[in-house]
Amino acid sequence: MRQHKLALCKEHYLEWIPAQTERFIKKYEMFTHYEKVLVAVSGGKDSLALWDILVRLGYQVDGLYIGLGIDGGFGYSSESHRLTQEFADKHGLKLHVVDVEKEYGQPIPVLADITHRGKGRPCSVCGLAKRHVMNRIARDMGYAVLATGHNLDDEVAVLFGNTLNWMGEYLLRQSPVLPETPGLARKVKPLCRFYEREMTAYALLRGIEYIYEECPYAVGSKTTYYKELLNQLETDRPGAKLTFYVKFLEARQQGLFAEKEKIQTPLTPCPKCGQPTSAPGLCSFCRLMERAAMTTIDSAD
Amino acid sequence: MRQHKLALCKEHYLEWIPAQTERFIKKYEMFTHYEKVLVAVSGGKDSLALWDILVRLGYQVDGLYIGLGIDGGFGYSSESHRLTQEFADKHGLKLHVVDVEKEYGQPIPVLADITHRGKGRPCSVCGLAKRHVMNRIARDMGYAVLATGHNLDDEVAVLFGNTLNWMGEYLLRQSPVLPETPGLARKVKPLCRFYEREMTAYALLRGIEYIYEECPYAVGSKTTYYKELLNQLETDRPGAKLTFYVKFLEARQQGLFAEKEKIQTPLTPCPKCGQPTSAPGLCSFCRLMERAAMTTIDSAD
């Protein structure tokens, strides 16, 4: 690990990653051993590794798998569901499963298609649906905290995109911890300071079976493009990604940005689902669902 | 010009660039026709084009050439001095010339060497000396405004570097206009929204003879590296540089950042040269000069 000037053998690496995770959990005050944590698991290396690490660290943590109904020619969703379920069974862990098609009538790609949202890509609909479901399950099942497996590369790509366009609201919000707000569990990203390759190494060394394929819709996305550009920067200037992310958090903490209240739109509960929204009426997810229902009725006519 | 969805013939292009410059001068309230402007001219395309444009727009503008004593195997400084002087003579313009070696005892590369400043590159010493001389001449000769030829690519590379490291003070300060402060003329960058290739096209179409070579010390510099990375981004996403820069200025104007006073170190006049400095005693330039003088005495011993 050039950015830390550190080289570890397998045994110490498998100790170092959880120890570092524990350090970040404490540093950013993510959660305690007394709180119930729900980890959103996709079947990929990051989220399965996160679940593994949190369990090893002795936290009370259950999993949530959201079936998105994405095939991509190789059964992306069914395969990732299988691997997630196997991981849960092998370690005797509790896994909640929400199938988008069963609960909301259509799989994600169809929802995106019929609502014409997202410029030919289902990614924005997918993100919206996942956020809605994660928030709902965390609230309904009484979890204090919702944890996701975003790694440093994920966070840096998002930060980079938001910075290139100076998206003020997003810059103020991107954080390893989003505090609880009425109707929303606290959200945390315990892996946010690990490089993607560090998580791959952890998953492989730990023998976690995860889905190797990326989501088929990620190919050619803006985030993927930023990741490639940032990988080039990192190759030329090792540590650049970590510096960009950590210095951003530090600068914000030290007061570089305006107070959130000056920039951010206030939130009110959605009259249908109760989740906080910045929209004046229904939240984006409930509006999407209404549009999908109308389109389905139209096509049935 | 893909970013503007605009294609112009030579005649209209040569009108469009000054008209746009005038628009930026007014938009950012850079200066008026009643103020005396000093333009810092390096002999490169940007600063000579800027001088050309400002004269054509009817502003009261004189030039300042700073002889840095850089050779690089092809007489970089002497050639750029010759071209600058020719431009001034051809158009009957007034050019101030300051030769660093004559006035301060050593050319820039030697000053950098003997003071061990800048990690083997004279760029930081060069920037420091140029800022000092420009400020001094503007103040001593009674110019209200100091104009430099920084183009969009220059500004974006600096902004990018400062953003990658979240350098708060620099982010708050980078601007098309730095207002006058006690002892310092107002500083303006009228070309800050033109791509480098737009300025090259202007200089070529206008028949300005400028030095084609970059400063020999620019090769392999951090700024050059950022420019290359940003060129790649611009190729893949036309307009990305302009968006990054303009949205930054807009976001700051709209209050994304904290008040300058919260972040910035207060300035006091240097007891030797009188220019404002954030240092407690002598300014960086005067300290550099003292160190250089001491080193020269040491070697003479």
Per-residue model confidence (pLDDT) at position B3: 62
List the one residue out of A166, A157, A161, A175 whose CA is nearest residue A230: A157
Say yes or no for a CB contact (<8 Å) between A163 and B163.
yes
Strand partners, A177: A188
Considering only A135-149, A260-274, B150-164, which range has the smallest mean pLDDT?
A260-274
Nearby residues of B205 by Cβ (< 8 Å), 6 or more positions away: B10, B13, B14
Q: What token pair was written down for B258?
A: 């904290």
Per-chain mean pLDDT for chain B: 92
* Residue labelled with tokens 């904290």: B258
CA-to-CA distance for A190 and A64, rounded, in angstroms?
16
**Most B-contacting residue of A230, A235, A236, A256 (CB-CB within 10 A), to test interface:** A256
| Chain B nearest CA to A192, separation (Å) | 17
Per-residue model confidence (pLDDT) at position A23: 97
Residue A232 binned pLDDT confidence (cut-offs 50, 70, 90):
very high
Facing residue for B244 by CB, picked from A164, A229, A262: A164
Considering only A50-64, A231-245, A248-262, which range has the smallest mean pLDDT?
A248-262
A41, A48 Cβ separation under 8 angstroms:
yes
Residue A3 binned pLDDT confidence (cut-offs 50, 70, 90):
low
Using a CB-CB distance cutoff of 8 angstroms, which residues of chain A are in contact with residue B220?
Answer: none
DSSP state, B215? P
A190-209 average pLDDT score: 96
How far is Cα of residue A102 from the mean position of the Cα atoms in its chain? Answer: 22
The helix/strand/coil state of A184 is strand
Per-residue model confidence (pLDDT) at position B210: 97
Q: Give the predicted TM-score (pTM) of the model.
A: 0.91
Q: ∠ at Cα A60 (A55, A64), nearest 5°?
A: 80
* pLDDT at position A5 over 70: no
Say yes or no for a CB contact (<8 Å) between A166 and B262.
no
Question: Per residue in A109-168, pLDDT tens?
Answer: 999 988 888 777 899 999 999 999 999 999 999 999 999 999 999 999 999 999 999 998
Per-residue model confidence (pLDDT) at position B219: 85
Q: pLDDT exceeding 90 applies to what percent of chain A?
A: 72
Per-residue model confidence (pLDDT) at position B249: 96
B106: left (phi over 0), alpha (psi -120 to 50) or beta: beta
Per-chain mean pLDDT for chain A: 92
Per-residue model confidence (pLDDT) at position A279: 85
CA-to-CA distance for A62 and A96, rounded, in angstroms?
8
B274-300 average pLDDT score: 84
Neighbours of B60 (CB within 10 A): 17
* pLDDT at position A300 over 60: no
Facing residue for A168 by CB, picked from B225, B236, B251: B251
* pLDDT at position A262 over 70: no
B80-96 average pLDDT score: 97
A156, A230 Cβ separation under 8 angstroms:
yes
Say yes or no for a CB contact (<8 Å) between A258 and B263.
no
